[in-house]
């Protein structure tokens, strides 16, 4: 006779086999495809990753093609996923893997740049069939609601994870958290495990999440044109390290900073035209951009790029949209 734990695992897996979403990384599963998808899915929703994963695999179908690419091209292909250190670590790790081969244990994966416990456990269960639970935010939320108080969720999963298909079990739990056991509006009536869930049976409610404190940053964006080309600068530090964007200046007042602009463009500028401001929300701050379009006679310390070359440069998404919509509608 099956135990209660066996029963709910079977119920979960049967539900998953009926509703599982056909994500592209679930096709032709290989260590490379699983690794790339798991890194992309860190801090990024699956719907955003789908299109970019397909595009990535068209350009970098294997670890050798990724290892041989330039960092600039890797960052360009990563656009739209944010947290660009993930792309840099993928690139660094690809060079190691192309030379040494793929690790044969999750512990071996942990030695690679940017691979933490979660990613290593996911690869270990999905590719190497290691019975290691994956504790992402969706799974932790499910456990907080499902388990009896005082029960260790991780110990529970470790005791029930199937040895024959641990990866499928992990995927099922994560998909349940994404689709059903959602943060703000859980679909409890549709949950296959509702009859065993403490949260559902007890009619419990969770306190609403505390609003995240978001700071505001305001900047002038200097969109300087030189003979049809746009002047750009490469960011050398911070979250956008290695990416290109138009020069920016902190916004401290309502009038354009012509004095500071004169220092940046000693050859002078003309036909200054303010454009509608744009807002972009990051994880912990909101940025309000005030674009200024004008013409210059000299590039100064910046580099000029034609429309075709701009398409190849890696840029933060907000600046990509600004450049494309302003200059090349």
For residue 4, which of 147, 138, 107, 127 has the smallest C-alpha distance?
147
Give catalytic status of residue 104 as yes or no. no
Distance, CA of 123 to CA of 132 (rounded, Å): 10
Is there a contact between 242 and 220 (Cβ–Cβ < 8 Å)? no
3-state secondary structure 19-70: HCCCCHHHCCCCHHHHHHHHHHHCCCCHHHHHHHHHHHHHHCCCHHHHHHCC
| Token pair of 86 as six digits | 């993930």
| Token pair of 238 as six digits | 């911070």
Q: Which of 38, 79, 171, 175 is catalytic?
A: 38
| Token pair of 290 as six digits | 């005030």
Q: Is 24 exposed, middle or buried (0-12, 13-18, 19+ CB in 10 A)?
A: middle
Distance, CA of 8 to CA of 120 (rounded, Å): 26
Residues paired with residue 304 on neighbouring β-strands, in sequence order: 231
Distance, CA of 220 to CA of 226 (rounded, Å): 19
| Token pair of 235 as six digits | 């960011």
Distance, CA of 286 to CA of 289 (rounded, Å): 10
The residues that are catalytic are 38
């Amino acid at each position: 006779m099956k135990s209660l734990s066996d029963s709910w695992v079977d119920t979960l897996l049967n539900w998953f086999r009926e509703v599982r979403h056909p994500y592209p990384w679930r096709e032709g599963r290989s260590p490379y495809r699983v690794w790339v998808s798991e890194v992309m899915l860190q801090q990024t929703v699956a719907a955003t990753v789908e299109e970019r994963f397909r595009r990535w695999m068209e350009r970098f179908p294997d670890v050798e093609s990724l290892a041989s690419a330039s960092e600039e091209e890797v960052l360009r292909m990563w656009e739209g996923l944010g947290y660009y250190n993930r792309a840099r670590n993928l690139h660094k790790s690809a060079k190691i893997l192309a030379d040494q081969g793929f690790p044969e244990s999750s512990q071996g994966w942990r030695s690679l740049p940017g691979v933490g416990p979660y990613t290593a456990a996911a690869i270990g269960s999905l590719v190497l069939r290691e019975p290691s639970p994956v504790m992402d935010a969706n799974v932790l939320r499910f456990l907080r609601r499902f388990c009896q108080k005082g029960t260790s969720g991780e110990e529970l999963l470790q005791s029930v994870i199937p040895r024959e298909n641990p990866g499928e079990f992990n995927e099922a739990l994560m998909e349940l958290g994404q689709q059903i056991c959602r943060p703000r509006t859980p679909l409890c009536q549709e949950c296959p495990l509702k009859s065993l869930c403490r949260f559902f049976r007890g009619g419990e409610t969770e306190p609403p999440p505390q609003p995240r404190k978001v700071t505001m940053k305001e900047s002038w964006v200097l969109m300087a044109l030189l003979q049809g080309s746009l002047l750009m600068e490469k960011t050398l530090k911070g979250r956008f390290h290695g990416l290109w964007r138009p020069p920016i200046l902190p916004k401290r007042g309502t009038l354009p900073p012509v004095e500071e602009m004169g220092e940046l463009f000693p050859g002078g500028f003309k036909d200054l035209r303010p454009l509608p401001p744009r807002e972009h929300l990051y994880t912990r701050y909101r940025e309000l951009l005030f674009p200024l379009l004008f013409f210059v006679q000299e590039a100064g310390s910046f580099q000029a790029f034609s429309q075709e070359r701009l398409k190849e440069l890696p840029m933060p998404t907000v600046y990509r949209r600004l450049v494309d919509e302003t200059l090349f509608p």
